[in-house]
Amino acid sequence: MIAKANPAKAKLWLPSLEWLRRYDRQNLSSDLMAGIIVAVMLVPQAMAYAMLAGLPPVIGLYASTLPLVIYALFGSSRQLAVGPVAIVSLLTLSGVSALAEPGSLSFITYAALLALMVGLMQFVLGILKAGFITNFLSHAVISGFTSAAAIIIGLSQLKHLLGIKLESGESVFSVLLATAQHLGETNLITFSIGLASIAILVFFKRLKSRFPAPLLVVVLSSLLVYLLKLNEQGVGIVGTVPSGFPAFSLPSLSLDGLRSLLPIALTITFVSFMESFAVAKSIASKEKYKVEANKELVGLGLANVAGSLFSGYPVTGGFSRSAVNYQAGAKTPLASMVTAILVSLTLLFFTPLFYYLPKAVLAAIIMVAVYGLIDVKEPRHLFSIKPIDGWTLLLTFAATLVLGIDTGILIGAAFSLMVFIWRSAYPHTAELGYLETENVFRNLKRYPDAKKYPKAAIIRVDASLYFANMAFLETYLANLLAERPNLSCLILDFSAVNDMDAVALETLEKRMDELAKIGIETHLVSIKGPVRDLLERARWFEKYGDKIRHLSLEHALKSCHPGGV
């Protein structure tokens, strides 16, 4: 008998089965149009990023074919556009140039090996379900990063919009300074084409029309340059795109190469994933669906492995292309497959069609797309609800603007983690009193009329207990005993304690024994199952008996307070 495939397991390993099986044909036109627009944008962009990485331009196109298809099959984002990006290109150059001369055959080989290393690392992390690291990318970090990165990417297109030559810069200040210094070199024809393209794109965007405005400006501007020979008047165009498709080749493995590339491979593995996931998560939140970190790691990992087998170099989710893909109406990963097919066809047959495409038009498409990702309302919203989240957003925003996209998100994530640790080290703790009219126990600070007991104190700890917050709890209890020297009973409400570590267990046991020596009994109430199992293994029930078995505060009070409630 032939075993039937388990659909649930198949979907787990191949997420694309879900959207392919339920594909809505009404999305086909949107996906096709988005795929075409991104392909038009990706061809010159991929070539430029490859040159930035010290590779021949055609390598960028190689990295924009099969990796896109593989990610579409295994990734969980519907709109993320995978391919070469500026940050990864710069990291590739810095890492591989230590081993070979940029542009050389050895350099190309090491770049493919780097892609293989990054891919395998990301794949293994995904299989091991290490995507939890993205849980530390809070909404505030994502919002701050997205807004700042959108500004940087938009401003980075000024050189193409103005038709001036500028060195690439990651921070907004370096871009603005360089632009100001070369403003007098502006090509007015190029600038006019760019402004007209922006006007057309914004017009159709405000109409919320499904008309493919980006494709319109691409076609019109290319015809205009061709007919009027504007390229001879200084208008920057895409120019010649090399033809041909790469052959399958396994990257050359060498121990020295692996050892030398390991640091930069680790850097690209985490930085590219965090950037990609931040972009994917940002778009997913707008579209009300969820991206899964582990599937993203697997998808990106397999995409990089596939690219390495066809002379590629490391790829990840691109911010600007994903924004264009999203704004162009992409509904499913089919858009990326369309992009990959078109890039492949371009490599083989259609490179002359992009010759006269003005770079200013591509800049206009990017700038209009990323403008919508700048969120000016979120900081005020967060400050009004939780100021620390507002500061997290502003810090991430400022760090990204000043230090660059990769550094900014790392700083935001680190600060968010510090805030989390600080909160867990100083958990909310309240002394409870009894509200007779409602028959409930509530925080005395919020309900000062609640009944207090002269010789009993009820303390509720609203967090799991571990080594980092036990010092706070000890200080809290010491202050309480100093304020109320007549206490004979301490009741700890554990209803919000989900876990304890060995340090917390030992510290609390020591404190309970010390209190017992001065005549103060300690009672535990509402212990949850996992904590109860821990106390059972520590033989607390044998040592403390019924004092830690209370199921309700009333029961604990009756045990240690004569009047009960």
Looking only at the bridges linking them, the beta strands covering 440-443 and 316-317 are unpaired
* Better-scored residue on pLDDT, 1 or 162: 162
Q: Per-residue confidence at 151, pLDDT binned at 50, 70, 90?
A: confident
Cβ pair 528, 497 in contact under 8 A:
yes
Residue 408: CA count within 13 A, CB half-sphere: 31
Cβ pair 88, 291 in contact under 8 A:
no
Q: pTM of the prediction?
A: 0.71
Is residue 209 predicted with pLDDT exceeding 70?
Answer: no
Instruction: Tell me how far apart the alpha carbons of residues 26 and 468 are, in angstroms, rounded to a whole number.
Output: 54
Q: What is the pLDDT of residues 309-357, one digit of tens each?
A: 999 999 999 877 888 889 888 889 999 999 999 999 989 987 777 788 8
Return the pLDDT at 54. 80
Return the pLDDT at 502. 92
Instruction: Tell me how far apart the alpha carbons of residues 343 and 339 are, in angstroms, rounded to a whole number.
Output: 6
Comparing 43-57, 444-458, 466-480, which segment has the lowest mean pLDDT?
43-57
* Better-scored residue on pLDDT, 173 or 162: 162
Q: What is the pLDDT of residues 177-188, one digit of tens each?
A: 888 888 888 999
Q: What is the pLDDT of residues 73-114, one digit of tens each?
A: 999 899 999 998 877 887 888 789 889 998 899 999 999 999
Cβ pair 183, 165 in contact under 8 A:
no
Instruction: Tell me how far apart the alpha carbons of residues 113 and 419 are, in angstroms, rounded to a whole number.
Output: 38
Q: Which of the 8 DSSP states describes residue 550?
A: B
Place of tokens 């005549």: 519
Instruction: Tell me how far apart the alpha carbons of residues 278 and 272 are, in angstroms, rounded to a whole number.
Output: 10
Residue 18's CB: how many other CB atoms inside 10 A?
13
Class of the CATH domain delimited by 429-560: alpha beta
Tokens of 228: 């009027």
Instruction: Tell me how far apart the alpha carbons of residues 378 and 292 are, in angstroms, rounded to a whole number.
Output: 24
Return the pLDDT at 7. 53
Q: Which of the 8 DSSP states describes residue 167?
A: -
**434 forms bridges with which residues in the sheet?**
441, 451
Q: What is the pLDDT of residues 374-415, one digit of tens each?
A: 888 889 999 999 899 999 999 999 998 888 766 787 888 889
Kindly list the distances between the CA atom of residue 7 and the CA atoms of 70, 77, 78, 312, 334, in Å, as whole numbers in the listed order: 20, 20, 21, 33, 21
Is residue 3 predicted with pLDDT exceeding 50?
Answer: no
3-state secondary structure 544-557: HHHHHCECCHHHHH
Instruction: Tell me how far apart the alpha carbons of residues 378 and 530 are, in angstroms, rounded to a whole number.
Output: 38
Averaged pLDDT for residues 456-465: 92
Return the pLDDT at 327. 83
Return the pLDDT at 9. 53
User: CA angle, 311 as apex, 310 and 315 as ends, to 5°?
Assistant: 90
Instruction: Tell me how far apart the alpha carbons of residues 144 and 397 are, in angstroms, rounded to a whole number.
Output: 4
Q: What are residue 158's phi and psi, to 5 degrees?
A: -60, -35
How much is the mean pLDDT over the chain?
86
Return the pLDDT at 413. 83
Return the pLDDT at 535. 93
Residue 418's CB: how many other CB atoms inside 10 A?
12
Comparing 36-45, 93-102, 170-179, which segment has the lowest mean pLDDT?
170-179
Q: What is the pLDDT of residues 111-134, one digit of tens each?
A: 999 999 999 999 999 999 887 776
E strand spans, 424-553: 429-435, 440-443, 456-461, 489-493, 521-525
H helix runs in 207-254, sequence order: 213-228
Residues 6+ apart with CB under 8 A from 196: 217
Q: Which helix (H) or strand (E) holds 266?
A: helix 255-287
Q: Per-residue confidence at 146, pLDDT binned at 50, 70, 90?
A: confident
Q: What is the pLDDT of residues 49-72, one digit of tens each?
A: 887 788 888 899 999 999 999 999
Cβ pair 148, 376 in contact under 8 A:
no
Q: Per-residue confidence at 10, pLDDT binned at 50, 70, 90?
A: low
Closest CA to 111 of 124, 87, 93: 93
User: CA angle, 475 as apex, 469 and 478 as ends, to 5°?
Assistant: 140
Q: Per-residue confidence at 2, pLDDT binned at 50, 70, 90?
A: very low
Return the pLDDT at 329. 85
Tokens of 493: 């409400």
Domain ranges across the chain = 26-416, 429-560
- How far from chain centre, in Å, is Cα 180? 33
Is residue 564 predicted with pLDDT exceeding 50?
Answer: no
Cβ pair 55, 107 in contact under 8 A:
yes
Cβ pair 415, 392 in contact under 8 A:
yes
* Better-scored residue on pLDDT, 407 or 226: 226
Write b or e for each residue in 159-187: b if 16 or more Cβ atoms lie within 10 A of its Cβ, otherwise e: bbbbbbebeebbbbebbeebbeeeeeeeb
Q: What is the pLDDT of residues 480-526, one digit of tens each?
A: 999 888 899 999 999 999 999 999 999 999 999 999 999 999 999 99
Q: Per-residue confidence at 171, pLDDT binned at 50, 70, 90?
A: low
